[in-house]
């Protein structure tokens, strides 16, 4: 019952991310190089889950089936401080741990400072830099099936490069976004293995785990829908200690769609699909008591379903005049876009009429030829 109430709370907030979280002008994993205008405030939340039936083979005589499932969720806000700088603060509201406490509620706190929207190459390219921070405020860390969390203050830097095929209407045409960054788990001398079932068997990390992070995202907008495809993952530069669950590199591909029924609301739906192998390099502390020892599951989920929701709460500060002009411009673009669509439909109708007209002329010509042949045969 306790777990059911927690799940209901998660669904109520509809709030997460697999090791990532959205921010200003972002995809599900990939950050674009654009920042919010000064004074803009957005609220974002998303919810993801994974489940799989696993056989518990701890006993060689009898075995039982266990349903392992993972739910995690974030809720976050992004605020435009000035035109080229914005700040994102996120709380991981809920995270399954599969320990005795079952879940962290709440989990860790995240923050990201982005400096960007620097255009070059005739405004087709944009660049940005990001500083990322994770503070381990959750009760448990180093849990299975998700990205490694040491419980300390983790930090990293990341660069973003965005390409827009149309420099004048960048959000209405194809764009590509690349992220590359370095991340430090800052876990040396920290207790990263503390099984609740085995008091007194705590283990400290011997070194700082560091990783290379990469993301590639593509966006193809069609009207009120954005079709997105992403590739994201990590490669450890310094691998975590052997008692860490998620100590392997991972790579995921994420197809998704974003529906934008209103300017102030967007909805996301996608799925993470693991491309990396299911190898397990963890060396567990106990063969009998550790619940993850002999189950046939990888350290990362095979897939992760994702749902997202974004509200635009505050408009930029210059909404008094510039915002009205921007709205007028957007309405004109919508009008001309609809007009062009109508024009295309009329052009297709005209082509069909021309085709029918030609077919009719060909038929009349064949009838005349047939009539001539019949007259000659009648003579």
The domain locations on the chain are 2-320, 321-379
pLDDT given for residue 165 in this prediction:
95
Q: 2-320 sits in which CATH class?
A: mainly beta
pLDDT given for residue 90 in this prediction:
94
Contact yes or no for 217/229 (Cβ under 8 A): yes
Length of the chain: 379
pLDDT, tens digit (0-9, with 9 covering 90-100), for 150-180: 988 999 999 999 999 998 888 889 999 999 9
At residue 258, the 3 state secondary structure works out as strand
Write the DSSP symbol of residue 36: P
Residues of the chain with pLDDT under 50: 1-19, 57-63, 286-289, 319-321
Write the DSSP symbol of residue 105: S
pTM: 0.76
pLDDT given for residue 11 in this prediction:
41
Residue 158: how many other CB atoms lie within 10 Å: 20
Q: How would you classify residue 355: left for phi > 0, otherwise alpha for psi between -120 and 50, otherwise beta?
A: alpha
pLDDT given for residue 250 in this prediction:
93
């Amino acid at each position: 019952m306790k777990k059911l109430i927690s799940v209901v709370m998660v669904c109520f907030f509809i709030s997460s991310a697999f090791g990532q979280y959205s921010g200003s002008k972002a995809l599900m994993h990939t950050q674009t190089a654009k920042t919010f205008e000064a004074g803009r405030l957005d609220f974002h939340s998303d919810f993801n889950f994974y489940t799989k039936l696993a056989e518990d083979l701890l006993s060689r005589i009898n075995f039982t089936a266990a349903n392992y499932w993972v739910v995690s969720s974030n809720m976050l806000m992004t605020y435009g401080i000035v035109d080229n700088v914005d700040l994102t603060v996120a709380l991981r509201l809920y995270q399954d741990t599969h320990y005795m406490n079952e879940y962290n509620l709440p989990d860790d706190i995240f923050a990201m400072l982005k400096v960007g929207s620097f255009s070059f190459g005739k405004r087709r390219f944009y660049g940005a830099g990001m500083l990322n921070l994770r503070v381990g405020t959750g009760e448990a860390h180093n849990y299975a099936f998700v990205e490694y969390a040491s419980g300390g203050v983790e930090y990293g830097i990341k660069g973003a490069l965005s390409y827009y095929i149309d420099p004048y209407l960048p959000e209405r045409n194809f764009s590509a976004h690349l992220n590359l960054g370095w991340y430090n788990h800052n876990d040396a001398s920290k207790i990263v293995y503390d099984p609740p079932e085995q008091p007194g068997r705590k283990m400290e990390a011997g070194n700082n785990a560091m990783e290379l992070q990469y993301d590639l995202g593509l966006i193809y907008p069609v009207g009120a829908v954005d079709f997105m495809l992403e590739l994201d993952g990590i490669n450890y530069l310094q691998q975590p200690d052997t008692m860490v669950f998620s100590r392997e590199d991972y790579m995921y591909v994420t197809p998704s769609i974003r529906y934008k029924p209103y300017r102030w609301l967007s909805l996301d739906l996608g799925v993470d699909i693991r491309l990396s192998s299911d190898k397990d390099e963890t060396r567990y502390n106990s063969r009998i008591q550790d619940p993850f020892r002999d189950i046939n599951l990888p350290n990362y989920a095979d897939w992760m379903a994702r749902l997202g929701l974004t509200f635009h709460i505050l408009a930029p500060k210059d909404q008094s005049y510039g915002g009205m002009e921007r709205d007028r411009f957007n309405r004109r673009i919508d009008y001309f876009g609809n007009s062009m669509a109508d024009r295309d439909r009329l052009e297709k109708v005209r082509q069909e009429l021309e085709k029918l007209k030609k077919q009719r002329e060909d038929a009349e010509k064949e009838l005349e030829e047939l009539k001539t042949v019949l007259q000659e045969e009648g003579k």
